[in-house]
Amino acid sequence: MSYIATIKEGIQTVHKNYQLVIIQFASMLLSCIGFFTIVGIPIAIAFIMFGLDLTEILRIKDIVSAFKGSAELLNKYFAMAIVIILTLLIYVAFIIALWIFTISGTIGVLRDSIIDADFKFKLKTFLREGRNFFSPVFFFSAMIGIAFIFLAFMLGLLGGGTSAIIEMAKAQEATLALFLGVFFSLIILSVGIFLIIVTLSITTYGIAHLSFQRSNTIETIKNTVRYIYSRPSSMGFYAILLIGYMVVGFLVILIGSPFTLIPIIGPILSLPYQLVTYVIQGYVSLVMLSSIFHYYYKTWYSLSSSESSEDADTSLITEEGQAFAHEEKDETQ
């Protein structure tokens, strides 16, 4: 199957459901507004209620002096610290719920649009799919988050072991230490990139499997790993999409960087351009996700569905043949 044809189909699906780009942008705006509403306003009210002096906190010159008087600061600003921690926890919970709901509704709309060519976007459909997929996407995202933490821990152990080997080599010969440093750095970089691409591939194709099959988290991960193992080209297709996403992001940043050099109107122009940047990034991410969905649908879901329907037809024909044979036997008797 042609990668370019699949990407074109993904672009057509996003254009057909362009409202998803608006929803992505609205979610980003709600995230920013939520920070000032949930975190900023309560902290400002707490400063007023507790009679705290912000200038006294800003007079702390360095981190060392702050740690020296940490006990005094904690006693003095304990209530303020509790308020900050609670508001941050509430904001993090709000962000997680908002984006999981947005992703859930998005994958539901993309799935319906791919399966049904006559599907048209409706906000009611988006909200329904967001509610239906909220729990599966939440638990799947939690498992992927744990996998990323474990991956970072393993890479950290690998880097620590490499540093110890290089230090031992330095005591023997500087040239050997330089060679081992470059060699192990390249190995760690290659292994890290490979593991990150594998984990991200499992994440995106797992979301696709979850949307089409509606399976639980463990079954989704198992089937996704089996799918990627049986079709390694799927990981290559994701790597191409990831590189394209990074190139587009780099170009957007490169185009917007000259605005910061303009003396007066530069900051004014950079604000609307930043909003345009969020829209472009949301659009490209939707194209990437839609292309993954089309690729998965053509290479796995449609084939497995046709095989299951053929098996069902075969079993039905066999049952009908057996029933007909029994009827003939009864008539003969």
Residue 58: what pLDDT?
Answer: 52
Residues 127 and 197 sit within 8 Å (Cβ to Cβ): no
d(CA 263, CA 256): 15
Q: How far is CA 216 from the centre of its chain?
A: 18
Domain span at residue 297 reads 3-332
Taking alpha carbons only, the member of 154, 141, 18, 37 closest to residue 87 is: 37
- Hey, what amino acid is at 95? I
What is the predicted pLDDT for the residue at 73? 55
Burial level of 153, CB count in 10 A (0-12/13-18/19+)? exposed
pTM of the model: 0.78
What pLDDT, on the 0 to 100 scale, is given for residue 154?
84
For 200, the token pair is 């991200």
Residue with tokens 């329907």, as numbered in its chain: 309
Q: Say how far apart CA 243 and CA 71 lie, in whole Å.
A: 49
pLDDT in tens, 205-215: 999 999 888 88
The torsion defined by the Cα of 274, 280, 282 and 288, in degrees rounded to 10, comes to -150
- pLDDT recorded at residue 324: 37
Token pair listed for 273: 């351009």
Contacts of 298 (CB under 8 A, 6+ apart): 1, 6
The answer to whether the CB of 54 falls within 8 A of the CB of 13 is no
Q: Report the pLDDT value the prediction gives residue 319, as an integer from 0 to 100.
A: 45
Residues 6+ away with beta carbon under 8 Å from 168: none
Distance (Å, rounded) from C-alpha 250 to C-alpha 188?
A: 25
Closest CA to 304 of 245, 227, 248: 227
CA distance 289 to 295: 10
Cβ neighbors of 100 (< 8 A, separation 6 or more) are 134, 137, 138, 141
Q: How many domains would you assign to the chain?
A: 1
Return all residues near 81 (Cβ < 8 A) that are at least 6 apart.
74
Torsion of CA 206, 207, 209, 210, to 10 degrees: 120
Low-confidence ranges of the chain (pLDDT < 70): 1, 46-47, 49-78, 301-333
